[in-house]
Structure 1
Amino acid sequence: MKIKFLIFIITIATGLSFINAQERKNDTIDDQVVNVVKPYTPTISDAFKIKDTPKLSDSNIVKKKEVKYNIFSIPVASTFTPAKGKAANVDKAKPVKLYDNYASLGVGTYTTILGEVYLNHELSSTENVGGYFSHHSSQGGIDNVFLDDNFSKTGLNAHYSQKLRDFSWKVDGGVDLMTYNWYGLPEGYEDQASDIDPRHSFNSFYIGGKLKFDDAIIKDGSVRFRRFGDDQDSGENRFVAKTNFAIPVQGEEINTEFYVDYIGGSFDESYFGGDEINYGNVTFGLSPSYQMKQDDLTVSLGVRLVYLNDTEFSDNKFFIYPNFEASYRLVDEILIAYGGIKGDLQQNSYYQFASENPFVSPTLLIAPTDQRYNGFIGLKGKLSNNVSYNIKGSYYSEDNKPLYRLNTVRNFSFGSGAEDYYYGNSFGIVYDDVTTFSVGGELNIDVNRNFTLGLKGEYFGYNTDTQAEAWNLPDVTGSIFMDVQITEQWFAGASAYFVGERKDLFELEGSLTGDSIMEMITLESYFDANAHLGYKINDQLSIFAKVNNILNQDYQRYLNFPVQGFQALAGATYQFDF
């Protein structure tokens, strides 16, 4: 093709030369005749190929010029519309609907009724009002009990709260009503049952409030007043006010707690008759503390100062207690060592004793307990993300520690005019200086939201000053609990606790010689197992069943006071919003 192209070019050039020769005849220059002897006929050997990449003969290095390509962009209206992307479908759990209110009702053996109602209503974005009602009662029916053993507990509470710009506050008030029986007759005194009306009741009214500041020296504060009494003309008033604030000192903060605790009350007479029992005192407490952190070490240094004014005996005392605590991370969250030593003046009350042991007699002497020190040391941490543990040992000393002890049987006072709690069926309070050594541990397993398991156990050793034993205090305690979400509808749980041996004193009023008959009695340890099962019908309604004392253990929590055997209860819970 290239040879044909060259022949074509030469032919055209020859033609142009011939035309030009014809035109020159008109020039002023003399004509010249060119005779072509032989036309040029090129051969293949006369054609040559130009090399694509010639070599430069110049010895200088020539830099190749960079070539840049660009275009002139002109905006145009595009009619192209890309299709919208669509996310892949992901299975999501249905969000759980949370309700502000619920009502629950259950009935069971021993004619047991259990009911609860909780209400909460949001008046505005900053205001809430609500209330709580609870009732638990049983008509009794414990085997081999010769007195009525029914009981009833009812509570009612109402509250109002508001959240403002710089602080929030809450007020609440309520009443509690409790009815029990001194049904624990000693063996051999069944014939006296017809002379006894064991029923007694307690009543309580309280009102209080709380304040919490967001950014202020004073962090929070609270006040609480409670009036507690019974149907035996006993009464008690208690008022407690507390506040926490931070004192700035050279760029650091000293956290401080201040409180005022007043208590005053009376009983008609002592257990062996006589004058009215009056008691009352007021305490003022101040607890400054400073916390410092350095790497894995955290130390809290403080002191607790308490001033006691006994209003009945016009006696004043001042106490200084240690308030020290420290912790050190030995291995991140896996192993944390901690320890400390603390102390406090603990205010005792008739309300506290009756709530813990409702079989006390209305003849108590109420006095505070001086916990001189409570030293403790332990290890805690996580074995994994789902398993945590805590091992702790303690040694503490308490002066004037209250102990429950069975009241003396006043057999010479039986009959007309005898009180219904004279028959060895009530408890009194004795005080003693007690030192206690304890060691225990707990393990919590939280596999996921559907399964939790916890275990706890503790051993106690007591040393008393004047009393023969630390009455009604166990040497060993243990507990276990478990909660399981079986399916979306089914849920279940179980719990069990073990209480070791306790000791009490049975004392019979002396004969004419004045000598009393006393016998120390050891209460056997007991194991109580419980379980529950529930089914969620829908988001609002669920049904449940509970069984307590599954092994039907015939044990005594306190001397002469056996508990109910196997118990079963079934009911329903309904959640709702207004």
Structure 2
Amino acid sequence: MQNQIKYIITLAFLVVASNGFSQERETDTIDTDVVNVVKPYTPTISDAFKIKETPTLNDSTTAQKKDVKYNIFSIPVASTFTPAKGKAATVDKAKPIKLYDNYASLGFGTYTTILGEVYLNHALNRTERVGGYLSHHSSQGGIDGLLLDDNFSNTNLNANFSKQLRDMSWTVDAGFGLQTYNWYGLPQPLFDETTADMINEGHSFYNVHFGGKLNFEDAIIDNLKVRFRRFGDDQDSGENRFVASSEFTVPIRGEEIKTEVTIDYIGGEFDRNFYTEDAIKYGNINFGIAPSYQLKQDDLTVNLGVNLVYLNDTEFSDNKFYIFPNITASYRLVDEILIAYGGIEGGLIQNSYYDFANENPFVSPTLFIAPTDQQYNASVGLKGKLSNSMSYNISGRYFADRNKAMFMSNSVLGGATEDYQYGNSYGIVYDDVNTLSVAGELNVDINRNFNLGIKAEYFNYSTDAQSEAWNLPDIKGSLFLDYQIDDNWFAGAGLFFVGERKDLFYEEGTLVPTSPVTVTLDSYFDANAHVGYRVTDRLSVFVKANNIANNDYQRWMNFPVQGIQVLGGATYQFDF
């Protein structure tokens, strides 16, 4: 039976194999018959083969994990390598400049000029500090063509002490000054050497002053200042002035009203007037109060205030009350680029012999001193920054001064008995003057090593009683330059321009009197420069030159200035 089954299977296998090999070669081609699809295939979900998210593995060879054991054989190796410690990269910084609290400077120059300064500032402890200042500037003169000496000397000494407390700080100071000048502006060719030999042209001024200041923290009173000054000359003239002022803030309904209170007294006497032996006495005391309120809203800032002044003329027993506006405002049109500002202010200006002599040391000791009523000073302007290193300021002002003081040359007095009566001194005249001015200013600060400033201003005057605004220039301009060339070299320059001024020349009491003649003083240009070298952190040397153009201009009529002046010296800085 088994053999029969084997025969049957063998026969079936041969039949199948014979059919496979019986196909002809020419039939192994692609059939070109057309297949018509009766119904397209539509798959169903059940036809898809689903893959399990977590497959199972039925491989019997991975059913058990074999444990693997590792053996590490550590063998020590000798090494001399030592890694360097990590360090952050740094940026090289310039060596900081050592600043000193004290310095001394001394220089010598042409016209036998001596220039010296000593500034001292020392901290006694954390809260107390003491300081002092000494300056001296003198020249033996030597201007060509003069009949009288033109030497001068100016010496000032000041000392101060300050103390810082928890809620307040205070400072006291005192000083002394001595100035010597000459009335050398003798009109020529009216006088010759014979007349000059009879004149003692030298005169001197002195002043002694002391005062103090208190500053308060978190108090109604912000500060308190007092100052007393005694000023006089060698012609028996003397003047006393005392000024006290205080600022305090008063809160009213959540708003702060800032107020300044001032007391200003002046009293003095001249031994005689210009024409007679009669003495001149003057005295005024002012009481002022100036409250103001500041309003801020976005880019607008407005200060609203008023200045009230009561004047008591102690010599003539005359009293007056003044009301002055005190209003200012500013508005930021374009951030820091364009800021508009303006205001209208006023005040009572207390004139003094001290102020006149410092502005014009050739005044005669025969002045009449009176205050100036500046009724208003209206201003408008634009300021801002053109770039991070350049700023500008353009402004216009119009102010009205009643009883404005102006310098005017004294007349040539026939039969002169005083050394200042030969047309070689100055007096004071008063008039109502309205002034219009237009000014422009440009400042360039490229970096800490280069600074440049330019300013120019034009004036137009309108007088009442006087025919001219005596000795007031129509144009003023200035340029300042400072340049730190490198770590050692530094330089600077200053240029000044003053326009034309008017003065009056006339003779009185002569056999043939002359009519007053208006004299136009030429405009002048003065160029100054300096250069220095820092030898060490403490020591530096410098050279200065003034009036480089060597112009023989006259700041005051008949008073020519020195020509080109060159001065060299050294400055030493130190600490105690």
Q: Which residue of 1 aligns with 2:163?
A: 162
Q: Distance in 1 between matches of 2:249 and 2:54?
A: 78
Contact conserved, 2:237 with 2:270, CA < 8 A, in 1? Answer: yes
Q: Distance in 1 between matches of 2:135 and 2:511?
A: 50
Alpha-carbon shift at residue 412 of structure 1 (Å)? 2.8
Contact conserved, 2:442 with 2:453, CA < 8 A, in 1? Answer: yes
1:171-217 deviations in Å (ceiling 9; x for gaps): 00000000000000001213410110100000000000001112111
1:120-159 deviations in Å (ceiling 9; x for gaps): 1100011000100000000000011110100000000000
Contact conserved, 2:395 with 2:439, CA < 8 A, in 1? Answer: yes
SS in 2 for 1:110: coil
Q: Which residue of 1 aligns with 2:226?
A: 223
Alpha-carbon shift at residue 95 of structure 1 (Å)? 1.1
Q: Which residue of 2 aligns with 1:182?
A: 183
Q: Which amino acid aligns with 2:178?
A: L
Q: Distance in 2 between matches of 1:448 and 1:290?
A: 38
TM-score (norm 1): 0.85
Q: Which residue of 1 aligns with 2:101?
A: 100
2:350 to 343, 347, 358: 347
Q: Which residue of 1 aligns with 2:486?
A: 487
1:292-322 deviations in Å (ceiling 9; x for gaps): 1111111110000000000000111000000
Q: Which residue of 2 aligns with 1:567?
A: 565
1:435-492 deviations in Å (ceiling 9; x for gaps): 0000010000000011111100000000000001000000001010101001100000
Q: Which residue of 1 aligns with 2:501?
A: 502
Q: Distance in 1 between matches of 2:246 and 2:365?
A: 33
Alpha-carbon shift at residue 119 of structure 1 (Å)? 0.5
Q: Which amino acid aligns with 1:217?
A: I
Contact conserved, 2:221 with 2:246, CA < 8 A, in 1? Answer: yes
Alpha-carbon shift at residue 399 of structure 1 (Å)? 0.4
Contact conserved, 1:371 with 1:398, CA < 8 A, in 2? Answer: yes
1:310-359 deviations in Å (ceiling 9; x for gaps): 00001110000000001111111111111100000000000000000000
Contact conserved, 1:500 with 1:526, CA < 8 A, in 2? Answer: yes
Q: Which amino acid aligns with 1:103?
A: A
CA RMSD of aligned residues (A): 1.8
Matches within 5 A, 1:155-554: 155-188=156-189, 189-191=191-193, 192-413=195-416, 418-511=417-510, 516-554=514-552
SS in 1 for 2:104: strand
Q: Which residue of 2 aligns with 1:133?
A: 134
1:54-107 deviations in Å (ceiling 9; x for gaps): xxx999998769xxxxxxxxxxxxxxx997430224211111111010000000
Q: Which residue of 2 aligns with 1:32?
A: none
Percent identity of equivalent pairs? 67
Q: Which residue of 2 aligns with 1:28?
A: none
Contact conserved, 1:219 with 1:246, CA < 8 A, in 2? Answer: yes
Q: Distance in 1 between matches of 2:247 and 2:291?
A: 10
Q: Which residue of 2 aligns with 1:5?
A: none
SS in 2 for 1:354: helix
Q: Which amino acid aligns with 1:431?
A: Y
Q: Which amino acid aligns with 2:147?
A: F
Q: Distance in 2 between matches of 1:64 and 1:337?
A: 79
Alignment CA distance shift 1:511-1:102 (3 Å):
closer
Q: Distance in 2 between matches of 1:145 and 1:392?
A: 42
Alignment CA distance shift 1:251-1:64 (3 Å):
farther
Alpha-carbon shift at residue 361 of structure 1 (Å)? 0.2
Contact conserved, 1:510 with 1:516, CA < 8 A, in 2? Answer: no
Q: Which residue of 2 aligns with 1:87?
A: 88
Q: Distance in 2 between matches of 1:262 and 1:504?
A: 32
Q: Distance in 1 between matches of 2:297 and 2:151?
A: 58
Q: Which amino acid aligns with 1:285?
A: G
Alpha-carbon shift at residue 275 of structure 1 (Å)? 1.4
**Runs in 1 of length 4+ with deviation above 3 angstroms?**
57-65, 81-84, 510-513
Q: Which amino acid aligns with 2:370?
A: A
Q: Distance in 1 between matches of 2:421 and 2:54?
A: 120
1:16-75 deviations in Å (ceiling 9; x for gaps): xxxxxxxxxxxxxxxxxxxxxxxxxxxxxxxxxxxxxxxxx999998769xxxxxxxxxx
TM-score (norm 2): 0.85
Contact conserved, 2:393 with 2:442, CA < 8 A, in 1? Answer: yes
